[in-house]
């Protein structure tokens, strides 16, 4: 029995040394995200699309309605994917059609709103405030404005340090006064 405990203790000690000497995997994952993001931005000519908040924003079609501001309720269609093209959130059905609008509350925080994962993407709030109602836009949202180092791969399919690509159509908008 003593030999077994000795070898078990020795194995734990060796594994502790091994893991403490390994490069920090979170730093490595963040570095990999930065490389993938830079590669994507360069390959798609989006370098000039970066704004002061850190997202890359490009209008597909400028809306004709009000400018979206904090407090707006935006009825929208969207498709959010990982940088590799894997869809993580969407209002589209399997055939790519949108039937039901999603109510997104810009810069509003309460228990009901915060229960939705899409509402928790800070970069989406920033991007919507650059749009007008009726507009369509494409956004590249780095992980620091999305889910950061949280590992949602088992629940949402979003690994740590994942850049998100969002295509958004702000179909309708209601100002705080109109809600």
From first to last of its 179 residues, what are the pLDDT tens digits of the chain?
555 545 555 555 455 545 544 456 888 989 999 999 999 999 999 999 999 999 999 999 999 999 999 999 999 999 999 999 999 999 999 898 999 999 999 999 888 777 889 999 999 999 999 999 999 999 999 999 999 998 888 889 999 999 999 999 999 999 999 88
Q: What confidence score (pLDDT) does residue 1 get?
A: 58
What is the model's pTM? 0.83
Task: Domains for the chain: give ranges and CATH numbers.
Answer: 49-178 (3.10.50.40)
Q: First-to-last CA distance in the chain?
A: 72
Q: Rounded to an integer, what distance in angstroms lies between the CA atom of residue 30 and that of residue 24? A: 10
Query: Would you say 144 and 160 are in contact if contact means Cβ atoms under 8 Å apart?
Result: no
Give the residue carrying structure tokens 């006064």. Answer: 177
pLDDT at 63: 96
Q: Which of 129, 137, 139, 136 is nearest to 68 (CA)?
A: 129
| pLDDT given for residue 154 in this prediction | 87
């Amino acid at each position: 029995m003593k030999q077994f405990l000795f070898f078990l203790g020795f194995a734990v000690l060796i594994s502790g040394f091994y893991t403490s000497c390994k490069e920090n995997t979170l730093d490595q994952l963040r570095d990999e995200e930065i490389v993938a993001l830079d590669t994507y931005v360069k390959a798609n000519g989006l370098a000039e699309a970066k704004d002061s908040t850190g997202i890359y924003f490009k209008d597909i079609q400028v809306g004709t309605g009000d400018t979206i501001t904090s407090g707006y309720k935006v009825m929208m269609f969207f498709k959010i994917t990982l940088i590799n093209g894997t869809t993580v959130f969407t209002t589209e059905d399997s055939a790519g059609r949108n039937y039901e609008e999603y109510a997104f509350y810009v810069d509003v925080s309460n228990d009901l709103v915060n229960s939705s994962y899409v509402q928790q993407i800070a970069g989406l709030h920033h991007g919507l405030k650059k749009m007008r109602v009726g507009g369509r836009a494409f956004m590249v949202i780095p992980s620091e404005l999305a889910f950061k180092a949280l590992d949602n791969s088992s629940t949402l399919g979003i690994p740590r340090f994942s850049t998100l690509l969002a295509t958004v159509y702000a179909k309708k908008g209601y100002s705080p006064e109109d809600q």
